[in-house]
Amino acid sequence: MDDYPSIQVVHQLEEILNNQEIELVVVNTPTATHFEYAQKALLAGKHVIVEKAFTTSEKEADILIELAERQGRILSVYQNRRWDSDFQTVQKIVSQQLLGTIHTATIRFERFKDILSAKLHKEQPGPGAGLLMDLGPHIIDQALVLFGMPMAVEAHIRTLRTHSMVDDDFLIHLLYNNLRVTLISSLLVPHPVDAYLIHGSKGSFIKQRADIQESALLKQAQPFTDNWGIEPEAYAGRLITNYNGTENEARVDSIPGNYGEYYENIFSAIRLNEPLKVSGSEGKNVMKIIEAAIQSQAEKRQIIINR
Residue 133 sits in a domain of what CATH number? 3.30.360.10
Residues 6+ apart with CB under 8 A from 48: 24, 25, 26, 27, 38, 41, 42, 64, 68, 73, 74, 75, 76
Are residues 65 and 132 located together in one domain of the fold?
no
Following CA atoms 222, 227, 230, 236 in sequence, which dihedral angle do they give, to the nearest 10 degrees? -150
Are residues 68 and 113 located together in one domain of the fold?
no
Do residues 203 and 241 make contact, with C-beta atoms less than 8 angstroms apart?
yes
Are residues 65 and 194 located together in one domain of the fold?
no
pLDDT of 15 = 96
pLDDT in tens, 147-164: 999 999 999 999 999 999
Q: How confident is the model at residue 55 (pLDDT cuts 50, 70, 90)?
A: very high
Are residues 140 and 90 located together in one domain of the fold?
yes
Asked if the model's pLDDT at residue 298 lies above 60, the reply is yes
The single-letter code of the amino acid at 91 is: Q
In-domain check, residue 166: yes
Do residues 100 and 257 make contact, with C-beta atoms less than 8 angstroms apart?
no
pLDDT of 213 = 95
Are residues 74 and 85 located together in one domain of the fold?
no
Are residues 30 and 135 located together in one domain of the fold?
no
**Alpha-carbon distance 166 to 130, whole Å?**
5
**Alpha-carbon distance 69 to 221, whole Å?**
37
Answer left, alpha or beta for residue 166, where phi above 0 means left and psi between -120 and 50 means alpha: beta
Three-class SS of residue 188? strand
In-domain check, residue 73: yes
Following CA atoms 122, 119, 30, 130 in sequence, which dihedral angle do they give, to the nearest 10 degrees? -10
In-domain check, residue 75: yes
Q: What percent of the chain has pLDDT over 90?
A: 91
**Alpha-carbon distance 292 to 288, whole Å?**
6
Paired sense of beta strands 237-243 and 203-207, if any? antiparallel
Whether the upstream peptide bond of residue 210 has omega within 30° of 0, thus cis, is no
**Tally of structural domains, the chain:** 2
Are residues 88 and 146 located together in one domain of the fold?
yes
In-domain check, residue 2: no
pLDDT in tens, 247-261: 999 999 999 999 999
**Alpha-carbon distance 121 to 261, whole Å?**
29
pLDDT of 1 = 57
Are residues 269 and 137 located together in one domain of the fold?
no
Paired sense of beta strands 75-78 and 237-243, if any? unpaired
In-domain check, residue 7: no
In-domain check, residue 135: yes
pLDDT of 163 = 94
Q: Which domain holds residue 293?
A: 81-258+288-304
Are residues 249 and 292 located together in one domain of the fold?
yes
The H-or-E segment that residue 51 falls in is: strand 47-51
Do residues 109 and 209 make contact, with C-beta atoms less than 8 angstroms apart?
yes
pLDDT in tens, 205-239: 999 999 999 999 999 898 888 889 999 999 999 99
Are residues 115 and 247 located together in one domain of the fold?
yes
What average pLDDT does the structure give for the chain?
A: 96
Are residues 151 and 266 located together in one domain of the fold?
no
CA 139 to chain centre: 5
In-domain check, residue 299: yes
Are residues 178 and 120 located together in one domain of the fold?
yes
The H-or-E segment that residue 105 falls in is: strand 102-110
In-domain check, residue 72: yes
**Alpha-carbon distance 239 to 294, whole Å?**
35
CATH number of 58's domain: 3.40.50.720
